[in-house]
């Protein structure tokens, strides 16, 4: 298959080879057997884009795992922080941090608690200064 792409003043021509049904079925079977994309590339000789495209077509309903570090606070911990603040038992994020750190084994920072409160719809507000009138 010949694909032509025109970009402003120059013409870029790329040639894409179509893969056979046998190659496609071997990629699908390797994916089902649990091989990584890198291992499938090495075994079949296909490019990473081709393997990725086939994988995306085969596993359409696969849950997207963003990866990264698991949260230090569970959903229950977050709910507990929000409840303590909204009920008026705690006034600020530092107090909430001290409260939650007395419960959970791994301590969290006040910034983590602030982020949790922000996710729940709370926001920080600066106190308005009150002018004191001096009696003279």
Confidence at residue 1, expressed as pLDDT on a 0 to 100 scale:
47
Confidence at residue 94, expressed as pLDDT on a 0 to 100 scale:
94
Backbone angles phi, psi at 75, to 5 degrees: -60, -35
Higher pLDDT, 54 or 12: 54
CATH 2.50.20 fits 12-58, yes or no: no
Which tens digits make up the pLDDT trace of 109-131? 999 999 999 999 998 777 788 88
> Whole-angstrom Cα distance, residue 39 to residue 104?
41
Distances (CA, A) of 7 to 12, 17, 43, 86, 116: 7, 22, 35, 57, 46
Q: Is the pLDDT of residue 7 over 70?
A: no
What are the boundaries of each domain within the chain? 12-58, 75-119
pLDDT band at 16 (very low <50, low <70, confident <90, very high): low
Confidence at residue 8, expressed as pLDDT on a 0 to 100 scale:
44
């Amino acid at each position: 298959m010949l694909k032509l792409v025109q970009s402003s003043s120059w013409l870029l021509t790329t040639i894409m080879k179509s893969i056979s049904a046998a190659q496609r079925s071997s990629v699908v079977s390797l994916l089902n057997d649990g091989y990584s994309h890198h291992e499938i590339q090495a075994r079949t000789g296909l490019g990473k884009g081709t393997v990725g495209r086939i994988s995306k077509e085969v596993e359409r309903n696969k849950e997207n795992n963003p990866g990264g570090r698991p949260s230090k606070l569970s959903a229950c911990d977050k709910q507990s922080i929000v409840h303590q603040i909204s009920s008026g038992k705690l006034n600020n994020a530092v107090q909430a941090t001290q409260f939650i750190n007395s419960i959970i084994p791994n301590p969290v920072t006040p910034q983590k608690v602030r982020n949790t409160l922000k996710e729940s719809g709370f926001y920080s507000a600066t106190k308005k200064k009150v002018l004191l009138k001096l009696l003279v």
